A and B are shown apart, each in its own frame.
Chain A
């Protein structure tokens, strides 16, 4: 008996019609799509985008060339050369990040004792020549200067959890 009823049920295509009811339901639902360049999803304050170098409020660069970030970088994307400045402090002469190697893991930011190298929330960038993949110290500092307010605010917000 149950064999016959199940046969009749499958002949009536009940399961298929049930499936079609589900899809037509979704057809009329509001869509999740974000219209990307015009609309954007909110970003976390811990977002790890393009790297940048910060300065102290008095304009002195934070980086003391300890090279911890260079040591911790799993992708070997960071290259640092250093010298002793006339005032006796150690500073970098060269701070290169190869964006083709960088995997945006954020270890450099974690390792930095002076909060110098940081991940910004910039994720939209491009380069037109291969050589532009290596960003140098002036570029990193310029990016840090440009975004300083945002960077400071993000770190302030995250501080209680660190």
Chain B
């Protein structure tokens, strides 16, 4: 009995050790987004609250939490309240299988990749339910767009991950990273380059970020699925979206960029020093690089037209991924280059 309680308590501590830094990361990501986009628009961005504006996210959160949560009169109350939770919870639960370093993982399960893919897809239900429960045409249009888009890009993303699975021979995220040992040459983004690009672009589409943000589309449908939300409920959607961005970036780092492995691993001269050693710092740096890409995209590209999004997903990404899976499978079976015994 005591043992079980101890184990439970230990798991709870681990969960807190993952979620609290994650929520802080989300807070500072919102600030980073405003500063980076500001810089790209030749202005400065928020810099007034605290040193360099570092307390801005806390001011924003406090403001949102103090605001009233308005329940529209003709909405479905139960689903309206449930929807933000349904977006946030899968975004947080998916972190259970993410390894931060060898052995530093909450749940070491063999189908980790499948689990992540399943949970990131569940997030779309929150969006659809929010759109439906709001009983508003803009929210409903946003939800429809988002559903169609996520379903389409899920396929391309899934195929890109199949490529990783074929290359690593495992669905366990730790083993996928360990399969990339032996220097930057062995990281999967080189043999799986098209899949890497497609995975990341699909990830941008999956999180409804610019240039794929038709689900929000301020200029056309106000704010899309979360028009009717305010205060803390809106904050949950926000948190979910940014947590998903971090998750996609971290997964890209794990699966294609060698996770916590050092890029200087096989460089002669520094073997054995801390620069060549695998470390969580490398993983975080790679994740930050991908997060910067998210912000960079948003500052650069105009929103895709809806039919262009569908064309890109179905007629470009899916054929390319299928072809490349076959190519990778051939390499693996024939044991060429990266898969030489």
Contacts and interface: CB of A to CB of B under 8 A. Distances in A.
Interface string A1-40: 0000000000001001001101110111101110000000
What's the interface size class on A, roughly? 10 to 19
A26 B301 contact: no
Nearest to A22: B300
The secondary structure that dominates the B interface is helix
A33 B44 CA distance: 6
Interface string B84-119: 000000000000000000000000000000000000
A27 B44 CA distance: 10
A84 B36 CA distance: 66
Contact of A19 (B36, B41, B43, B300): B300
B195 to A, nearest CB: 14
B40 A27 contact: yes
B42 A23 contact: no
A24 B40 contact: yes
A19 B301 contact: yes
Contact of B296 (A24, A32, A33): A24
B43 A20 contact: no
Interface residues of B, number: 13
B299 interface: yes
A33 B36 CA distance: 14
A20 to B, nearest CB: 5
A23 B44 contact: no
Contacts of A31: 39, 42-44
A107 B197 CA distance: 62
B300 A23 contact: yes
Contact of B43 (A16, A23, A24, A32): A32
Interface of B: 36, 39-44, 197, 296-297, 299-301
Interface of A: 13, 16, 19-20, 22-24, 26-29, 31-33
- Please name the 10 residue pairs, one residue from A and one from B, whose CB atoms are nearest each other, closest first: A33-B44, A23-B300, A23-B40, A27-B39, A33-B43, A19-B300, A27-B40, A23-B299, A31-B44, A20-B300
